[in-house]
Amino acid sequence: MIRIGLGYDLHTLVPGRPLMLGGVHIPFEKGEAGHSDGDVLLHALADALLGAACLGDIGELFSPNDPQWKDMDSSFLLKTVWDKVRAAGWTLENADCVITIQQPKILPYRQAIRTSIADILGVHIDQIFVKAKTGEGVGIIGSGTAAAVWCTCLLSRP
């Protein structure tokens, strides 16, 4: 059996917060606003995994109204999700993610991001891919006000 999952997340970018993407701190003057550390990439990937396995969504598991998740490292959230997905008998074939952010350029950090995600999930780096797009100066992405991520994943189990 195989299943495809789709995850999406969007966070505003604000001064005074670190920019975290895929568990990697990227030097920039703004970071994601969020209840946890705001790692929009790890949140979208967690939702893709949960959706493919029909195990809920990230907001259901880690409510933004629950103070225990305040400023939580999203690597922990993704690892917790992945443990739940694996316990249901699923394995990851691959994940493909698109980051939309006007600045900074993501290409110099892509390998570190892929490595970080592969390490969190305990999979080979060739199972994870990340690419980035700008907003071409249009909308909340293009104005530098927000960052968004779409992730797909393919899960399998016997």
pLDDT in tens, 28-59: 999 999 888 899 999 999 999 999 999 999 98
pLDDT in tens, 107-133: 999 999 999 999 999 999 999 999 999
Confidence at residue 70, expressed as pLDDT on a 0 to 100 scale: 78
Longest dimension (CA), the chain: 47
Confidence at residue 65, expressed as pLDDT on a 0 to 100 scale: 82
Confidence at residue 4, expressed as pLDDT on a 0 to 100 scale: 98
Q: Which tokens is 28 given?
A: 């920039």
More confident call, 37 vs 2: 2
pLDDT in tens, 52-78: 999 999 989 888 888 777 778 999 999
- The C-alpha atoms of residue 52 and residue 50 are separated, in whole angstroms, by 6
Which CATH architecture does the domain made up of 2-156 adopt? 2-Layer Sandwich (3.30)
pTM of the model: 0.96
Confidence at residue 125, expressed as pLDDT on a 0 to 100 scale: 98
DSSP H or E segment with residue 148: strand 146-156
Confidence at residue 158, expressed as pLDDT on a 0 to 100 scale: 83
Confidence at residue 22, expressed as pLDDT on a 0 to 100 scale: 98
The CA angle 50-20-132, to the nearest 5 degrees, is 80
